[in-house]
Amino acid sequence: MNKRINLVDRYGRYHDYLRISVTDRCNLRCHYCVPDGQHQCMDYSKILTDEEILKIVKVGSELGVRKIRITGGEPLLRKNLPQLISGIKSNSNIEDIALTTNGVFLSKYGRELKEAGLDRVNISLDSLNENKFSYITRDGSLDQVLDGIQTAIDLGFHPVKLNVVLMKDFNLDEVEEFLRWSIREPIEIRFIEYMPIGTDNTIWSNQYQSLEIVEEIAKGIRPYHLLNKQNVTGPAQQYSFENGVGKFGLIHPISCNFCDNCNRLRLTADGYLKPCLFWQDEVSLKQFIDNEEQLINAFKKALFIKPERHKMGEDSFENGNPTTRVMSAIGG
């Protein structure tokens, strides 16, 4: 039997990508991730153990999961993360392991993560201005993140992606500087539309900015071209400037959603499988951790309840409720 068929949802979408939140804790308190500035962290007893995560990965890989992304909170706050990555890497079905981090601790742990088998890193960075960075992260250090980025480049992680959430009154004036950075350095700058996850819709709508402005600014810098989609993974439209070393990408979850091609499931730190980032629906895995058949059934249930699309940015919802978890509790 081809077990991969088990990870096809009602709309014919194959799922080979599992995002795993290993903690809901973070050393930063970014405004869009923690809207009220206070982390409401769950008790440690509720967090999946390494052994539990590896059991879930094993079952998922037998059903067709080939790519893993480690997220948080801030995943580098999790004790012995390199050992967990090594354990995942030992699964012969897993072809790629990536990490999303705020970058603060990357210069300290980067080499250990590389040696454990980590393939790629995404680093969240919404401003190159020290004062604005401190504001959006509530007292984070830009220099630490820049050191982490350089460490990732020096260690040979490829690609090194920088996630920039675009916000109307915050960082539009920095788009050109980010774009020019992609010309000079072997990095991919990914501009992401601000999403209404766990935040007041009015706050979101006041700061939402479509990404058309990025393309307009790019045109004023130098010629650029769209990369062949066959060479691109994930939801980003990727571009490269003429004679540029790096790339830049656009991710439009609101203005041009990519639900038709969604291939991902999300595992929360407390053991729930979320078929969609936006909706409240979740399936518990933790209670079935020692029963492989039940875990398989839980994966199947998550695929069955996965909706055709999210409805981010809409004023009303039918047949569903948006998630009440904030982004730091989901893993993005």
pLDDT tens-digit map of 23-77: 999 999 887 777 777 778 899 999 999 999 999 999 999 999 999 999 999 999 9
Give residue 3's pLDDT: 44
Look at residue 312 in the predicted model and tell me its pLDDT.
Answer: 65
**Which of 261-290 are b and which e, b meaning 16 or more Cβ less than 10 Å from the residue's Cβ?**
ebbbbbbbbbbbbbbbbbbebbbebbebbe
Percent of the chain's residues with pLDDT above 90 = 71
Q: Other CB atoms closer than 10 Å to residue 223's CB: what's the count?
A: 10
**At which residue do the structure tokens 């998922």 appear?**
60
| Residue 313 scores a pLDDT above 70 | no
* pLDDT in the model for residue 201: 66
Residue 231 burial (10 A CB sphere; 0-12, 13-18, 19+): exposed
Non-local CB neighbours of 151 within 8 Å, separated by 6+ positions: 106, 107, 110, 111
Residue with tokens 């010629």: 223
pLDDT at 129: 97
Dist. CA 243–CA 100, nearest whole Å = 28
pLDDT at 311 over 70: no
Q: Does domain 3-330 have CATH number 3.20.20.70?
A: yes
pLDDT > 80? residue 1: no
Q: What is the mean pLDDT of the chain?
A: 89
Cis peptide before 73 (omega within 30 of 0): yes
Q: What is the mean pLDDT of residues 100-116?
A: 98
Q: Tens digit of pLDDT for each residue in 282-303?
A: 999 999 999 999 999 999 999 9
- The model carries a pTM of 0.90
Going by DSSP bridges, is the β-strand pair 247-251/237-241 parallel, antiparallel, or unpaired?
A: antiparallel
Per-residue pLDDT band at 2 (split at 50, 70, 90): very low
